[in-house]
Amino acid sequence: MRLKSIDGLRGLAALSVMLGHWAEFVEAQGAPPAWQDAIRRVFLEDFSFGRMGIVAFFCVSGFVIPFSFRGPRPMTDFPISRVFRLYPAYWASILAAVIVFPLIGADVFTPAQIAANLTMIQVLLGQDHLLEVYWTLFIEILFYALCYCLNGLGLLRERRTNLIALSGFVGLALIMGIVRWNDPNSDLSVGTPTYLAAMHLGALARLRFLEADPQAGKAYRIGLFILLLGATAANTLAYRHAPHEALGWLASDLGYLAGVLLFVLCIERGWFSGRILPFLGLISYSLYLFHMIVIATLGAVWPQSMGWVTAFWVTTPVYFAVTVALATLVHRWIERPGIGLGRRVEARVNRRLTRAVGVDRRALP
């Protein structure tokens, strides 16, 4: 079942991430001092549209993923569906980056880096991401693994389990924040546990508003309070005087809070269910994967002779239009066929498992 408001929030989140990265890019192209100051304050020091979009994405993942474990064989169907949902477009973005970046004089990737990135767990393999945005996909994989284990234990859709998990991740983030407060040069990833906590808030919201759990309302409200307070404290501790972070502590806090607020407005008020945003939500995964490739390409052809302001107004609509057009094509020709193929593979595997079970039963005395 698809909810237009959820698709709309996905679309808005994708636009937020695209906007944040575009602002950072154009500022680096020699923006006039007044523009540089405004961009840094709005996108890096006082607020972060990118952080807002990422947090909203993770809340939506928590709302959707734990409830994808359905049917007679969820432990088999879920990994198959996720592989065919995520990897085809992801691999296409890797191929595009490997081809485009050397042509425009950008990064040249090593075979080891490319091979590791094909797995989506390149962090565990000691390799850098080919594209900056890939880091969030690793957190998604962590959440999938956690959901898989909890489902195997029969705890995945329990409100207490999700509240405990949310609280645990917030607690871990607070500990890491304290460590970073005492050691500003520490590179502990405070964001990872706060994002995982946001996913469990999404699961509690699903139980409260869609699954008709009569006891989930209290757990959702408690979880929301813990997340807002704990994530704000953890981010402040971690980023307040970290010298090597591009994002300021205030931007981190406000961006995180805004992402949660967007999710709450979507779930509780049904916002973002118009026409344009739900369409962008359908192609949001491809928007997210490919927008950095479009940015890099525009960087190679940035019209310096026009002057920065003119070039900005010329390239900005091109950036958004080209990214949406490219994402639409990727969704149509790669994502959708991949999803369809995944369903056929699921059906075939289930038929074989059913036959195998039937044979085993006939073999019993």
Q: Is the dihedral of CA 218, 52, 273, 141 positive or negative?
A: negative
Q: Alpha carbon of 362 to those of 73, 154, 353, 355: distances in Å?
A: 21, 29, 14, 11
Tell me the Cα Rg of the chain.
22
Confidence of residue 361 (pLDDT cuts 50, 70, 90): low
Which positions ≥6 away from 291 have C-beta within 8 Å? 17, 18, 21, 22, 133, 319, 323, 327
Q: How far is residue 216 CA from its own chain's centroid?
A: 25
Mean pLDDT of 1-22: 92
pLDDT in tens, 277-294: 999 999 999 999 999 999
Cα(176)–Cα(255) distance, integer angstroms = 19
- Taking the model in full, what pTM does it have? 0.94
**Six-digit token string for 313:** 């107004």
> How high is the pLDDT of residue 356?
80
Whether residue 117 contacts residue 94, with contact meaning beta carbons closer than 8 Å, is answered with: yes
Whether residue 199 contacts residue 59, with contact meaning beta carbons closer than 8 Å, is answered with: yes
pLDDT in tens, 157-179: 999 999 999 999 999 999 999 99
Confidence of residue 241 (pLDDT cuts 50, 70, 90): confident
Burial of 145 (0-12, 13-18, 19+ CB in 10 A): exposed
pLDDT in tens, 42-98: 888 899 999 999 999 999 999 999 999 988 899 999 999 999 999 999 999 999 999
Mean pLDDT of 330-336: 98
Mean pLDDT of 215-233: 96
% of the chain beyond a pLDDT of 70? 97
pLDDT in tens, 17-36: 999 999 999 999 988 999 99
pLDDT in tens, 109-150: 999 999 999 999 999 999 999 999 999 999 999 999 999 999
Task: Of 183-192, 276-285, 349-358, give the lowest mean pLDDT range.
Answer: 349-358
Cα(197)–Cα(178) distance, integer angstroms = 18
Q: Which helix (H) or strand (E) holds 354?
A: helix 336-363
| Residue ranges per structural domain of the chain | 4-363
Neighbours of 95 (CB within 10 A): 11
> How high is the pLDDT of residue 363?
52
Q: Alpha carbon of 3 to those of 11, 67, 112, 144, 285: distances in Å?
A: 13, 14, 40, 21, 16
> How high is the pLDDT of residue 41?
87
